[in-house]
Structure 1
Amino acid sequence: MASEDVVGKTTSESAVSTIVNLAEEAKLAREGVKAPGHAVLSICKSLVAGGVAGGVSRTAVAPLERLKILLQVQNPHSIKYNGTIQGLKYIWKTEGFRGLFKGNGTNCARIIPNSAVKFFSYEQASLGILFLYRQQTGNEEAQLTPLLRLGAGACAGIIAMSATYPMDMVRGRLTVQTEKSPRQYRGIFHALSTVLREEGPRALYRGWLPSVIGVIPYVGLNFSVYESLKDWLIKTRPYGLVEDTELSLTTKLACGAAAGTVGQTVAYPLDVIRRRMQMVGWKDAATVVAGEGRSKAALEYTGMVDAFRKTVRHEGFRALYKGLVPNSVKVVPSIAISFVTYEIVKDILGVEMRISD
């Protein structure tokens, strides 16, 4: 009998506790405060939207991404790829359709979490910077300026790049290798384990510094130009570009394309140096990249400044922009698709906050 009383008391307490919790959540909802579970769900939705945006946009331009990397690291004395059209034709002829998408699986495995972290970090950095800006100015209605958006984008880029850099490093090697390469990495995890075993853990972050320096203007300008253009168009309301308070899909794509073009043009030389530094320590890189004609010294860099110096000295300043044309062709649709896909997926998932809010 006593045990029944205990069970009844426990059940009663549990029911009361549940009612109290529901009442508290209802109160928080009425006051505009989200319950912890709601906040977690919102974060997950935001991460999913960013990941989908990255995967879709990168797969759409995978052939151009691979050609860009091959152009960046090829030997100037043994030219195989002379441009976008010729390069794509050469890959198709020598490696077939699958060659155009070589390394895309690894690329997506890197870009999906990178994109998820990048978009989410930008949202959080924007909220934090906006809060501090309003506190400093004393204006509760103040909005982010293009410069503040640049700062938020830079923070997001650094966080996302650092979190996923080892994947980017092995993706570069997987993309460069061909069927005739002496060393064959069998996949992401085989490449990671091989580099760790033969070159040490520091090798996974080789080229990190120019990557981080490059990502500051690249991601920062992407977000700043995209959002500032959207705001300007909504405020000025040019004929045919704005429907009520929403931009048309075509206009959003154009904003994304402009943002990507500006960002990648500024940061591109650092991307070339990063890619070359990632090849350091790979003893088969000379054969893989350029055949036997490439000197060993050209693959040895003591750091970012040394890599810049040797590249310009041996190949000229133009070498810092190798692969820029296919990269430009790639960036225009890629960034545009990424931003628009992100907003569409967030609308579908019902996430309240959007990057322009």
Structure 2
Amino acid sequence: MSRLLEKPNIAMSITATGSQLSSTVASASATGNRGTEDVEDEDGTSMTSSSASALTTTTIPAKVNQHSSSIKTTEMRKHIDEVLISLIAGAAAGALAKTTIAPLDRTKINFQIRKDVPFSFRASLQYLEQTYTKEGVLALWRGNSATMARIVPYAAIQFTAHEQWRRILQVDTNGTDTKVRRFVAGSLAGITSQSLTYPLDLARARMAVTDRYTGYRTLRQVFAKIWVEEGPRTLYRGYWATVLGVIPYAGTSFFTYETLKREYHEMVGNNKPNTLVSLAFGAAAGAAGQTASYPLDIVRRRMQTMRVNTAANERCPTILETLTKIYREEGIKNGFYKGLSMNWIKGPIAVGISFSAYDLIKAWLRELSHLKRGRVQE
């Protein structure tokens, strides 16, 4: 009896299993049928479910790549904005600083290239007075157009190059104190800007030591006469003396200013000093930079103005010959450092205005950039 009773159980088990198998096959068949059915997307476009599945699997990486590309584009746009801000702020700061001290700059250049007239404050005031009497007040800014034509690109390139060299050399990153790199970044910024704008510096020196009646009337005339009468190579006369001078000048200036700002931050806890403090730091940087590079500044001015300097009877074609000549005929104090006291007045003023104006204008432009970016995102 027990065996007879077990048979229906086996039959029932087989029947149940077959029923489950049938339902499984039926569901698979239904699924297969549905897999071939058309599915409409959100736009009403007909597609099969297999196509929809493939589209879903390919959409996810596409979105990831699109997001990554968007991040890269945003970062690139921010970097370009920073470069443009540095260019504009540097140009404006340089123009403001040089225009302020233009009369003092012209006076200094005239004493630098003349060995027959000793420098003194009384003599410099007399020169300013004579220039005003003979040619008018605007003559005190003679050559300033050439200065602006040079200083606007020069300052723009210098400040922007300094920012980029700091980034490349990783100056003071992650709280480190890299003094040598700080100096090198400033020197490289000076070399970069001076190399790209040197002919304009020579033209400014020529216009500063001549009057409008016997010299050059316009900046264009300076280049035309030099090209025809002296040759195109003259446009870079004194270049190496300038580069040798700009290494200690720009390096010391940027190093001093950045170091003072760093020390101020460590003492006070504020990494953005006010305008007066920035002016003071810039003045100290200007005085240090001018003192470090002044002898080579004398050399380059002598070499730049050879043809127009009537007091110079002999030509000094090289840096070494010019240095030797100045040392033998005028000595160290009255030769290499002639007019330095004037530079201690105008240099700190110019560099102080330049550095503080650059920081102020750059911060203002950054705020405008953030506001504009915020409005676009809204």
Q: Smaller-chain TM-score range? A: 0.7 to 0.9
Task: Determine which of 81, 87, 103 is the counterpart of 2:143.
Answer: 103
**Could you list the per-position Cα deviations for residues 174-217 of structure 1 after superposition, in whole angstroms to 9, with x for gaps in the alignment?**
11002453xx3221122112111221121001001110000001
Residue 241 (structure 2) aligns with: 210
Task: Determine which of 106, 127, 141 is the counterpart of 1:87.
Answer: 127
Pair 1:179–1:47, CA change in 2 (3 A): closer
Query: By how many angstroms is 1:78 displaced?
Result: 9.0
Say if 1:146 and 1:225, in contact at 8 Å, map to a contact too.
Answer: no
SS of residue in 1 equivalent to 2:240 = helix
Residue 196 (structure 1) aligns with: 227
Q: Which runs of 5+ in 2 are unaligned?
A: 1-61, 371-378
Answer yes or no: is 1:333 the counterpart of 2:349. yes
Residue 162 (structure 1) aligns with: 195
Residue 313 (structure 2) aligns with: 296
Whichever residue aligns with residue 202 of structure 2, its letter is M
CA distance in 1, matches of 2:63, 2:81: 22
Say if 1:71 and 1:81, in contact at 8 Å, map to a contact too.
Answer: no
Residue 285 (structure 2) aligns with: 259
SS of residue in 2 equivalent to 1:209 = helix
Residue correspondence of structure 1 range 265-276 to structure 2 within 5 A: 265-276=291-302
State the TM-score, normalized to the length of structure 2: 0.75
Task: Determine which of 156, 160, 166 is the counterpart of 1:116.
Answer: 156
Say if 2:245 and 2:296, in contact at 8 Å, map to a contact too.
Answer: yes
Greater alpha carbon shift after TM alignment, 151-160 vs 313-322: 313-322
Query: By how many angstroms is 1:277 displaced?
Result: 0.3
Whichever residue aligns with residue 198 of structure 2, its letter is Y
Query: By how many angstroms is 1:42 displaced?
Result: 2.7
CA distance in 1, matches of 2:174, 2:122: 53
SS of residue in 2 equivalent to 1:350 = helix
SS of residue in 1 equivalent to 2:136 = helix
Say if 1:149 and 1:223, in contact at 8 Å, map to a contact too.
Answer: yes
Pair 1:167–1:25, CA change in 2 (3 A): farther
CA distance in 2, matches of 1:99, 1:322: 23
Say if 1:115 and 1:160, in contact at 8 Å, map to a contact too.
Answer: yes
Query: By how many angstroms is 1:74 displaced?
Result: 2.0
Answer yes or no: is 1:306 the counterpart of 2:321. yes
Q: Percent identity?
A: 33
CA distance in 2, matches of 1:330, 1:78: 19
Whichever residue aligns with residue 111 of structure 2, its letter is L
State the TM-score, normalized to the length of structure 1: 0.79
Pair 1:35–1:147, CA change in 2 (3 A): closer
Whichever residue aligns with residue 207 of structure 1, its letter is G
Whichever residue aligns with residue 297 of structure 2, its letter is D
Q: Which structure ranks higher in relative contact order (CA pairs < 8 Å, sequence separation ≥ 6)?
A: 1
Residue 76 (structure 2) aligns with: 36
SS of residue in 2 equivalent to 1:228 = helix
Query: By how many angstroms is 1:98 displaced?
Result: 1.2
Higher Cα radius of gyration:
2
Pair 1:245–1:174, CA change in 2 (3 A): closer
Task: Determine which of 215, 222, 231 is the counterpart of 2:262.
Answer: 231
**Could you list the per-position Cα deviations for residues 265-287 of structure 1 after superposition, in whole angstroms to 9, with x for gaps in the alignment?**
1101100110000123x2x431x
Residue 128 (structure 1) aligns with: 168
Root mean square deviation, CA, Å: 2.8
Whichever residue aligns with residue 199 of structure 2, its letter is P
SS of residue in 1 equivalent to 2:74 = coil
Pair 1:46–1:93, CA change in 2 (3 A): same
Query: By how many angstroms is 1:319 displaced?
Result: 1.4
CA distance in 2, matches of 1:217, 1:195: 29
Residue correspondence of structure 1 range 162-181 to structure 2 within 5 A: 162-179=195-212, 181=214
Say if 2:252 and 2:292, in contact at 8 Å, map to a contact too.
Answer: no
**Could you list the per-position Cα deviations for residues 114-151 of structure 1 after superposition, in whole angstroms to 9, with x for gaps in the alignment?**
000000111111111117x9xxxxxx725352221110
Task: Determine which of 278, 288, 296 is the counterpart of 2:304.
Answer: 278
Residue 96 (structure 2) aligns with: 56
Task: Determine which of 174, 179, 186 is the counterpart of 1:153.
Answer: 186
CA distance in 1, matches of 2:118, 2:293: 26
Query: By how many angstroms is 1:218 displaced?
Result: 0.4
SS of residue in 1 equivalent to 2:176 = coil
Query: By how many angstroms is 1:234 displaced?
Result: 1.4
Q: Which runs of 5+ in 1 are unaligned?
A: 1-18, 134-139, 287-293
CA distance in 2, matches of 1:75, 1:82: 17
How many residue pairs get aligned? The number is: 308
Pair 1:77–1:41, CA change in 2 (3 A): closer
